Structure 1
Amino acid sequence: MEIKGASPDLYNEDLAPAKVRNWGPFSIFNVWTSDVHSLWGYYLAASLFLFCGGFVNFIVAIGIGSLVIYALMNLMGYAGVKTGVPYPVLARASFGIWGANLPALVRAIVACFWYGAQTAAASGAIVALLIRSESFAQFHRDVHFLGHSGLEVICFVVIWALQLLIIQKGMETVRRFQDWAGPAVWVMMLILAIYLCVKSGSFAFSSDIPLDVLLEKTKDAGVPGTPGSWTSLFAVAAIWVTYFSALYLNFCDFSRYAPDKAAVRTGNLWGLPVNLVLFSMVAGVTTIAAYDVYGEVLLHPDQISAKFDSWFLALLAALTFAVATLGINVVANFVSPAFDFANVFPRAIDFKKGGYIAALIALVLYPFAPWEGSAASFVGVIGSTMGPILGVMLVDYYLIRRGEIDVEALYREDGEFRFQGGWHVNALIAAGIGALFSSILPNLTNWLPAWWGIYGWFFGVAIAGVIYYALRSLAPGVKVSGAKA
């Protein structure tokens, strides 16, 4: 689609509506295999398994959460198919041509944070393999800088650099990489589960992990109730939904390359509820078998592989975990900030340069390792900031505009989306109030109930969406029907 009269401060070739639509159901499916099949994804699934107190409870909670994820991803995915634009450009319709930079940068910061976390997790798997050798183990013990061992720093930098090679040719390289990386990780996760089940002598869906062990492992996660209680199950479903909160915003970065809604819907069906439940089952079975074999709860797959007697299996596991991290970082934590930073300065920053900026920020964060800590708490705090933005965008696209957007106006300084000098005050007010209740109050004060933080993302979506709808309804000259007055 050719944009006539596009402003150079709003347009470059990477931000333009997608011209090539070759992401079929398999590629959309592998967006999710790449995103879910990671060390952090496994760790979260295994951690949530402990909260459920049993396998059936776990599958029910994860299944309900996965259906919610599927529905939300379809909503944002359809917008990407119809408009062909990336997330920061779509955000201009609700936040204004300049105001969209605010939600874009929020999403970029989250991506940079995760970029470092995933890279650190992958490098940890490599370190766990190398310290099997006494010479590497001694180097690991004796040499330290930047707050880490020398071996950890070297492995981090190597994994960090390898990821930059994947994006040399843009989104087409991303598609090709994820189409084999995601399935490869599935194979390794199955090998891990089968190996442990064989070694334990049983294949069990029921857990014999004692309650006192579960309570000890989950005491700092901030999840209310005892493992297996209804409060814990609802919290598990909520945390699972929140884990994907950042990708709800920028899934249109990928769906814009799909030929139609059917491709998105089919890819999402297999990649989300089906794939998520199966992956979580594998994580649960592996956690049970690992406890039976080693007598301890091991939530990190690299911790399990480090105990393998076979060097070959340990090597295979370490390489697969590294590939898994490359996959999720490219899909979830490179593509989004690449477009987000390009959106801020289209004249100077293209897709590649935006990605390099994100990678550099992740590298600078590494000495501080801000991602270390409880997975559930971390996901809740970071994810809850995304809810209000999503609430505003969904209400604007589906309830205010009825799915009809003048795409060309998204690239014009004097068009429909200029609002108040390029900023849409109504959207900023709604998102700000939503963020107050989704993230600021529950995490920085004790004014709200302790359980509020678990559901903060949901409160953010609802509060921001309702306020935005009300403000738009009261705005002069605006009909809440999709048509301009």
Structure 2
Amino acid sequence: MTVNNPSPSLYNEDLAPAEERKWGAFSIFNVWTSDVHSLWGYYLAASLFLLCGSFINFVIAIGIGSLVIFFFMSLVGNAGVKTGVPFPVLARASFGTFGANLPALVRAVVACFWYGAQTAAASGAIVALLTRNDSILAFHQNSHLLGHSTLEIICYVIVWALQLLIIQHGMETVRKFQDWAGPAVWVMMLFLAVYLVVKSGTFSFGAEIPRDVLLEKTKDAGVPGEPGSFAALAAVAATWITYFAALYLNFCDFSRYATDTKTLRKGNLWGLPINLLAFCLVAGVTTTAAFAVYGEVLLHPEAISAKFDSWFLALLAALTFAVATLGINVVANFVSPAFDFANVFPKHISFKRGGYIAALIALVLYPFAPWETGAAHFVNFIGSTMGPIFGIMMVDYYLIRKGQLNVEALYHENGEFEFQSGWHVNALIAFVIGGLFSSILPTFTSILPDWWGTYGWFFGVAIGGGVYYVLRMRGAPAAAALQK
């Protein structure tokens, strides 16, 4: 659609409703292959596999979690198809025309953390390959800077810079890149699994790993209960769902380019419950086979490929994993902050400039490496900050507005979504209360039980969305009276 006379402070071409909708089911499917099939995705899946204790437990926990992910992504994805707007613009309906900058900046900062984590994982694959050489290994062990080895810093900066090239030509280039990168890592993951199964001489799923090893590897996972217990399985499903917390918000950045909701549903069905479960099963088989071959639990695929006897195979695996991780970074952690930062100053920040800002923040974060706190810890803390935002937006769109939204008014300062001088106080109150219980109290105090943080995102969604609904319903009669 065409927006008539939009307010300059709310509009630029990147933020405008999508006019060209060329993304078919395969492109939507590859949003998820690019998002999941990364070194960090494998690391999380392998870590959660250890917590399940058996094949059937893993299938149940990951299967249920993947179905929940499919449901939530359908909610926000359908809103994107119908409105054609990116996440920060959609947030204006609930947070106000200028208040939407708050959730946009939260999402952008989270993306910067993930951008750094994924870039570090990709560069780690290159480091693992290079250190097969004795002289480079010596350099890696003896030369350090900013809390990391000099080799790690060099590889990080190189991978960081390569990612910037992908977005030079906008979202269509992103689509073409992910359509290639997603399937490529699937091929390498299957090769890795088959190679290790053949070398080990056995096909197993967890039975080869002794109980004492499982307990040792999972003791600091930040998940309640021993491997295989109900508490552990519930935490596995919750952590897997929370892993996608960022994309629950900005999946509409991609779904708005889909041809229709039927196409979106087909792409999501293959890309989420089916693809996610298959990927996790491959990660579990690979982890078990690697233990049988090397006698240790290796949760990082680059650590496995670095042990290959063939240098060529190690090179092929490292490059594939690195490229795949670049794919998720562009899809999940570059596109969103590019739109989010552009939403703050549309006249001065374009899609590309917003992406450059996100990349620069990720570069500054690298010396501190906040992502090196364990998979479950990092995922649950980062995810919990976005729960209230998702709850508020979905309650507003589906329960308050019944899926009907005046898209053009989203681009006008003095229209329906002005609320209180561009800010919606109800949404801000709900966000603060939801954030208090989802991330602040469980992270910085001991008031709540230890297990609370594992489910922080869910508490954020429920409390933030619930408070927002109550506040809106209390104000509904007064609003109706004013309209009369």
CA contact (8 A) 1:59 1:277 kept: yes
Q: Please give the residue correspondences for 1:371-382 in structure 2 after superposition, counting only pairs within 5 Å.
A: 371-382=371-382
How far the C-alpha of 1:218 sits from its partner, in A, is 0.6
2:154 aligned residue: 154
Cα separation, 2, equivalents of 1:114 and 1:267: 24
How far the C-alpha of 1:203 sits from its partner, in A, is 1.2
2:329 aligned residue: 329
What are structure 2's unaligned runs of at least 5 residues? none
How far the C-alpha of 1:367 sits from its partner, in A, is 1.4
1:205 aligned residue: 205
| Alignment of 1:236 onto 2:240 | no
Cα separation, 2, equivalents of 1:206 and 1:375: 19
| Alignment of 1:75 onto 2:55 | no
How far the C-alpha of 1:142 sits from its partner, in A, is 2.5
How far the C-alpha of 1:479 sits from its partner, in A, is 7.6
Superposition misfits of 4+ residues, deviation over 3 angstroms: 476-480
2:406 aligned residue: 406
Partner SS for 1:168: helix
Q: Write the letter of the residue equivalent to 2:320.
A: T
How far the C-alpha of 1:208 sits from its partner, in A, is 2.3
| Alignment of 1:47 onto 2:72 | no
How far the C-alpha of 1:476 sits from its partner, in A, is 4.4
How far the C-alpha of 1:477 sits from its partner, in A, is 4.5
CA contact (8 A) 1:87 1:251 kept: yes
Cα separation, 1, equivalents of 2:348 and 2:408: 21
Q: Write the letter of the residue equivalent to 2:90.
A: L
CA contact (8 A) 1:473 1:479 kept: no
CA contact (8 A) 1:400 1:479 kept: no
CA contact (8 A) 2:204 2:288 kept: yes
CA contact (8 A) 1:410 1:417 kept: yes
Cα separation, 2, equivalents of 1:286 and 1:454: 26
Cα separation, 2, equivalents of 1:41 and 1:397: 30
Give CA-to-partner distance per residue, 1:74-131, whole Å, 9 cap, x none: 0000000000000000000000001000000000000001101100111111011011
Q: Please give the residue correspondences for 1:177-326 in structure 2 after superposition, counting only pairs within 5 Å.
A: 177-326=177-326
Question: What number of residue pairs does the alignment pair up?
Answer: 482
| Alignment of 1:21 onto 2:21 | yes
Partner SS for 2:402: coil
Cα separation, 2, equivalents of 1:420 and 1:259: 36
Residues 165 and 395 of structure 1: is their aligned pair in 2 closer, same or farther, counting only changes over 3 Å? Answer: same
Partner SS for 2:168: coil
Partner SS for 2:163: helix
CA RMSD of aligned residues (A): 1.1
CA contact (8 A) 1:160 1:359 kept: yes
1:111 aligned residue: 111
Cα separation, 2, equivalents of 1:135 and 1:263: 52
Partner SS for 1:356: helix
1:443 aligned residue: 443
CA contact (8 A) 1:385 1:438 kept: yes
CA contact (8 A) 1:96 1:418 kept: yes
Cα separation, 2, equivalents of 1:405 and 1:107: 22
Cα separation, 1, equivalents of 2:456 and 2:412: 35
1:32 aligned residue: 32
Give CA-to-partner distance per residue, 1:39-85, whole Å, 9 cap, x none: 11000000000110011100110000000000000000000000000
Q: Between the two proteins, what is the percent identity of the paired residues?
A: 76
Q: Write the letter of the residue equivalent to 2:79.
A: A
Cα separation, 2, equivalents of 1:207 and 1:428: 50
Instruction: Give TM-score scaled by structure 2 length.
Output: 0.98
How far the C-alpha of 1:328 sits from its partner, in A, is 0.4
Residues 70 and 476 of structure 1: is their aligned pair in 2 closer, same or farther, counting only changes over 3 Å? Answer: closer
Q: Which deviates further from its counterpart, 452-461 or 280-289? A: 452-461
Instruction: Give TM-score scaled by structure 1 length.
Output: 0.98
Cα separation, 1, equivalents of 2:205 and 2:390: 36
2:387 aligned residue: 387
Q: Write the letter of the residue equivalent to 1:114.
A: W
Q: Write the letter of the residue equivalent to 1:11.
A: Y
CA contact (8 A) 2:94 2:396 kept: yes
Q: Write the letter of the residue equivalent to 2:123.
A: S
| Alignment of 1:6 onto 2:3 | no
Cα separation, 2, equivalents of 1:478 and 1:327: 49
Cα separation, 2, equivalents of 1:205 and 1:439: 35
Q: Which deviates further from its counterpart, 450-459 or 86-95? A: 450-459
Q: Write the letter of the residue equivalent to 2:9.
A: D
Q: Write the letter of the residue equivalent to 1:37.
A: H
| Alignment of 1:469 onto 2:475 | no
| Alignment of 1:143 onto 2:143 | yes
CA contact (8 A) 2:53 2:206 kept: no
1:348 aligned residue: 348
Give CA-to-partner distance per residue, 1:379-409, whole Å, 9 cap, x none: 1111011110000000000000001111110
1:459 aligned residue: 459
Cα separation, 1, equivalents of 2:140 and 2:87: 42
Q: Write the letter of the residue equivalent to 2:459.
A: F
Q: Write the letter of the residue equivalent to 1:386.
A: M
Q: Write the letter of the residue equivalent to 1:391.
A: G
Cα separation, 2, equivalents of 1:270 and 1:319: 26
Q: Which deviates further from its counterpart, 30-39 or 129-138? A: 129-138
What are structure 1's unaligned runs of at least 5 residues? none
Residues 407 and 305 of structure 1: is their aligned pair in 2 closer, same or farther, counting only changes over 3 Å? Answer: same
Give CA-to-partner distance per residue, 1:272-303, whole Å, 9 cap, x none: 00000000000000010011111111100011
How far the C-alpha of 1:219 sits from its partner, in A, is 0.6
Cα separation, 2, equivalents of 1:115 and 1:259: 29
Give CA-to-partner distance per residue, 1:199-241, whole Å, 9 cap, x none: 1001113422111111111111121111001111111000000
Cα separation, 2, equivalents of 1:368 and 1:233: 32
How far the C-alpha of 1:374 sits from its partner, in A, is 1.0
| Alignment of 1:90 onto 2:79 | no
Q: Please give the residue correspondences for 1:415-426 in structure 2 after superposition, counting only pairs within 5 Å.
A: 415-426=415-426
How far the C-alpha of 1:455 sits from its partner, in A, is 0.9
